[in-house]
Amino acid sequence: MRLLEHEGKDLFRQYGIKVPRSALANSVDEAVRFATEIGYPLILKPQLTVGGRGKEGAIIKCTTERDIINKFESLICNRIKGELPRGILLEQAVDIKEELYVSFFLNRSKRCFSVIASPEGGVEIESTVNKIVMDVPLAGIERATAQNITAELSIKESLRNPLVDVILSLSKLVIEKEVELAEINPLVVLSGESVIALDSKVIIDDNSLFRHPELIKYEHLSEQEAQARRNGFSFVKLDGNIAIVGNGAGLVMSTLDMVSDRGGKAGTFLDFGGSATRDSIYEALKLIDGLPQIEVILINLFGGIVKTSLVAQAIFDGYKEGVISVPLFARISGSESDKAREILREGKARMFDSVEDSISAALDAISPKERNIHG
């Protein structure tokens, strides 16, 4: 779960990390009102889960009310990497003396956290060699270790203790909230050698949300994602035109890869899961057919816990009741697959013995101009 900048900073405040004064606005009137409370100059920052705002020219300094009125609407309506802002953060402009970088991330390959610190903030951390990377236990980092990290950086001694405090606060945050990544870039130095988080990037393990009800307020679900959750299946909307459906995340992912290898573009990732019913499958197909970019549905199903006859009945009823309006291609095997084939024998769905054949048929059914052929 990727938090928006202002949400990440909300967590930073809770853990004693200083952030600029700010307010989230969703309209020009709100922005003008909040600006009088924050004071000029201030920065307008679209709230997105994707990066690249600065490179797109979407972070704007305002010194007057007129600046806000002139810039706000264009910012909130401007898509960046396909995403519309979820509000505009108005933030106090600060006098930056230096920029630092610090982050914690869950290093799954080593089964620990890793901390990265650098005296060069505001840059792509991968592109700089001037950084310290250290693995730390899942239980967190000790002050002595944080002091060793800062001692190795080429920063003024007066900045070391403030940076140590930030490192310790981030360590506590990632452990207590089960965070996969907590990044401050840049962590800026102000006059008086104090430091403040000018940006935030926080990713939380959404599998842990049942242990953290206080974090659910940060979850952003689309209407389709909310509907999928209510009906007990996993759904991710993608930018292609082929709906990929199956039971089991691994099976769906492998099918998606096979489609991609053949030049197709997935429009959905949909996993029925192990507790699917005829009704939940029916609702899944109804959701998919409501997506305007979807031209075909591709189902790759291996019956085990989920009986394939339930899926077949949902498909049959979906066509009969007008829920499914696009071609559907399916490879169904496993538990009750013979019964499933019998149910679908007289229907509109096309059945195949192999996933390769079903993919070929699905690709053939797509408008040629929509095909993404890779040679």
Instruction: Identify the CATH number of the domain in which residue 86 sits.
Output: 3.30.1490.20
Going from the C-alpha of 170 to that of each of 16, 142, 257, the distances in angstroms are 9, 12, 36
Compute mean pLDDT per 10 residues along the chain, 375 residues long, and list them: 96 98 97 97 95 90 97 94 91 95 94 94 85 92 95 92 96 96 96 92 90 91 78 85 89 93 92 80 88 92 80 90 91 84 85 91 78 43
Residue holding tokens 């853990």? 15
| Residue 41 near residue 67 (C-beta atoms within 8 A) | no
88 and 102 assigned to the same domain: no
287 and 240 assigned to the same domain: yes
- Choose one of 72, 92, 112: the last residue of a domain: 92
Question: Is there a domain that residue 140 lies in?
Answer: yes
Domain of residue 297, CATH code: 3.40.50.261
Question: Is there a domain that residue 8 lies in?
Answer: no
158 and 247 assigned to the same domain: no
237 and 352 assigned to the same domain: yes
Q: How many structural domains is the chain composed of?
A: 3
Question: Is there a domain that residue 132 lies in?
Answer: yes
- Choose one of 92, 118, 135: the last residue of a domain: 92
pLDDT of residue 50: 85
| Residue 329 near residue 323 (C-beta atoms within 8 A) | no
Question: Is there a domain that residue 13 lies in?
Answer: no
Question: Is there a domain that residue 143 lies in?
Answer: yes
86 and 102 assigned to the same domain: no
pLDDT of residue 375: 38
- 243: part of which helix (H) or strand (E)? strand 242-246
pTM above 0.75, yes or no: no
| Residue 360 near residue 262 (C-beta atoms within 8 A) | yes
Domain of residue 203, CATH code: 3.30.470.20
211 and 231 assigned to the same domain: no
CA 212 to CA 175: how far, in whole Å?
12
Any bridge partners for residue 243, and if so which?
Answer: 268, 297
Question: Is there a domain that residue 166 lies in?
Answer: yes
| Residue 90 near residue 21 (C-beta atoms within 8 A) | no
- Choose one of 180, 215, 250: the last residue of a domain: 215
pLDDT of residue 126: 82
191 and 239 assigned to the same domain: no
CA 93 to CA 332: how far, in whole Å?
59
64 and 147 assigned to the same domain: no
Q: What backbone torsions phi and psi does residue 28 show, to the nearest 5 degrees?
A: -60, -40
Question: Is there a domain that residue 243 lies in?
Answer: yes
153 and 266 assigned to the same domain: no
Domain that holds residue 52: 21-92
CA 115 to CA 149: how far, in whole Å?
9
Going from the C-alpha of 223 to that of each of 212, 226, 227, the distances in angstroms are 23, 5, 6
Question: Is there a domain that residue 9 lies in?
Answer: no
288 and 336 assigned to the same domain: yes
CA 270 to CA 297: how far, in whole Å?
11
209 and 252 assigned to the same domain: no
362 and 300 assigned to the same domain: yes
